[in-house]
């Protein structure tokens, strides 16, 4: 999976779990504000470390 596919996959997962963003932010180490901006496409280069933290949390919770 390339980085763009990885990014879009995480974005789709966040959109599907919008009601859980407070929990996701609290437990993933990624701020609620960042989650909101990312899911709305306002972070053009989100950084692999942050995407990885988010992915680790979301995949653990799946």
Q: What would the pLDDT profile of 9-39 be if each residue is shown by its tens digit?
A: 999 999 999 999 999 999 999 999 999 999 9
In this predicted structure, what is the pLDDT of residue 16?
Answer: 95
- To the question of pTM greater than 0.75 for the whole model, the response is yes
Residue extents of the structural domains in the chain: 3-61
Task: Give the mean pLDDT of the chain.
Answer: 93
* Those residues with Cβ within 8 angstroms of residue 45's Cβ, 6 or more apart along the chain or in another chain: none
CA separation for the pair 43, 23 (Å, rounded): 21
Asked if residues 34 and 54 have their Cβ atoms less than 8 Å apart, the reply is no
In this predicted structure, what is the pLDDT of residue 1?
Answer: 79
User: What pLDDT band is residue 61 in, cutting at 50, 70 and 90?
Assistant: low
């Amino acid at each position: 999976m390339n980085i763009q596919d990885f990014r879009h996959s995480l974005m789709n997962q966040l959109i599907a779990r919008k009601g859980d963003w407070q929990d996701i932010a609290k437990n993933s180490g990624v701020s609620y504000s960042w989650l909101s901006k990312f899911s709305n496409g306002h972070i053009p280069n989100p950084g692999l470390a942050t995407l990885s933290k988010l992915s680790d949390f979301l995949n653990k919770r799946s």
